Amino acid sequence: MTQASPDLITFGESMALFMPPEHRALERASTLEQGFGGAESNVAVGAARLGVSVGWFGTLGNDPFGHMIVKTLRGEGVDVSRVKLSSEAPTGLMFRETVAGRLAVHYYRKHSAASRVQPEDLDEAYIRGSKLLHVTGISMAISESSRRTVERAVDIALDAGVPVSFDPNLRLKLWSIEEARDALLPLAAKADYFLPGWDELQLLYETSDWDHVVERLSALRAISIVKSKGDQTVILNNGATEEVPFYPADNVVDTVGAGDGFCAGFLAGIVKGMTPVEAVKLASVTGSLAVQMRGDWEALPTWAVASSRLGGQAWVER
C-alpha cells in the first residue's frame, strides 16, 4: 500500500439531508434539521470510527452543503483528499419525512455535481494502493457517467489485485428494476464480497425460492453476505452456508443507515483480518447501534463500544 492510500476506499454521492423534527410530515413542519447522508460516506464514517484507515471521494458542489460534508467527514477521520468541489453543479439534496407512520425520502439529485462524475476523474494510483474498494449500486443509478465510473474503478482495483466489495443498495426511485438487473448483476459477478439484502435478491433474481437464490449466489466468485433473511444474516462461502443471528436493538429510532452501518462493520472486520463470520458479528453490532439515533450515520459506534458489545461487557450507566 502506498502512503497516499487508505486501507479502505469508497466513493459516491453524499447529499445534504433535511428532516422535520419529531418525525413530522414535511408539509406540516415549520423547521428542519440539517445533516447529510449517502451510502458510501456513511460506510466511510462507520469504518473510521472502528479504527480503520478509510478514504471517501466524490464530487460535491462548491457550496455551503459541499463544504459542510467535507469538513464533517474530515473531522470523523475520513481521508477526503480526492474530493472535488464543482462550481458548475450543486450538491444533491434529500428530504426525509414520516407519512402515515412510514418513512418517505425525496431526492433532489438530478444534474447534481456527483451525477456528472466521469471515469477520467478517478485517481487510479489511489485505488491501486488500497486494500479494499467498496462500491454500491446507488452510484451506478444516478447517471450513465457515474455507472461507467464505478465500472472503471472496479476494473482498476481488480487489475491491481485489490478486493472489491459490492452492496447493490437497490433504489427503485432512481431506476427501473430492469435497468438495475442489467447493471448490478454483472458487477456482482466481479466482486469479492457481495452484500445484498434478501429483499433485493428476490427482485434481482425474480424469485422468492431460497434454494434457487443459493444456487445463483454459489455460481459467483464472491463471498455473499445476505442481510435480513428472517432475523439473521446468511454467509455463503465456497459452497458452505452459515447463519448469524441479528444483534438485538434496544431502542429503534431511525432505521435509515442500518445497512450502511452493517457494511461498515463488515468491511472494518475484513480489513482488521477477521474471518467473514467474525466480520458479520461485528456488522450486526454496528447495524443494531446505527438505528438507535436520528440520522444516517450519527449513531455508528466507535471500536471501543462495538468491541465491548461483542465481548458481552455490561454497560455502566453511572
Among the listed residues 79, 167, 260, 296, the single catalytic one is 260
The predicted structure's pLDDT at residue 248: 75
Q: Report d(CA 288, CA 270) in Å as an integer.
A: 19
Q: What is the pLDDT of residue 1?
A: 41
Does the active-site annotation cover 260?
Answer: yes
Which residue is associated with the grid cell 465500472?
Answer: 151
CA distances from 76 to 2, 80, 301 (A): 22, 10, 12
Question: CA 315 to CA 229: how far, in whole Å?
Answer: 29
**Residue 44, pLDDT score:** 97
pLDDT of residue 316: 47
**Do 133 and 164 touch, CB atoms closer than 8 A?**
yes
Distances (CA, A) of 190 to 44, 140, 164, 221, 243: 22, 15, 8, 7, 24
Local confidence pLDDT in tens for the 318 residues of the chain:
445 899 999 999 999 999 998 778 899 889 999 999 999 999 999 999 999 999 999 999 999 999 999 999 999 999 999 999 999 999 999 999 988 777 888 999 999 999 999 999 999 999 999 999 999 999 999 999 999 999 999 999 999 999 999 999 999 999 999 999 999 999 999 999 999 999 999 999 999 999 999 999 999 999 999 999 988 999 999 889 999 998 877 776 666 768 899 999 999 999 999 999 999 999 999 988 877 676 678 889 999 999 988 877 555 445
The pLDDT assigned to 292 comes to 67
287 Cβ contact list (under 8 Å, min separation 6): 246, 247, 258, 259, 261, 262, 265
> For the segment 239-289, what is each residue's pLDDT rounded down to a tens digit?
899 999 988 777 766 667 688 999 999 999 999 999 999 999 999 999 888
Residue 107 confidence (pLDDT): 92
Q: How much is the pLDDT for 2?
A: 44
Tens-digit pLDDT profile for residues 121-143: 999 999 999 999 999 999 999 99
pTM assigned to the model: 0.93
CA dist 260 and 283 (Å) reads 9
Give the DSSP per-residue string, 223-238: EEEEEEETTEEEEEET
Q: Measured in Å, how far apart are the chain's first and last C-alpha atoms?
A: 43
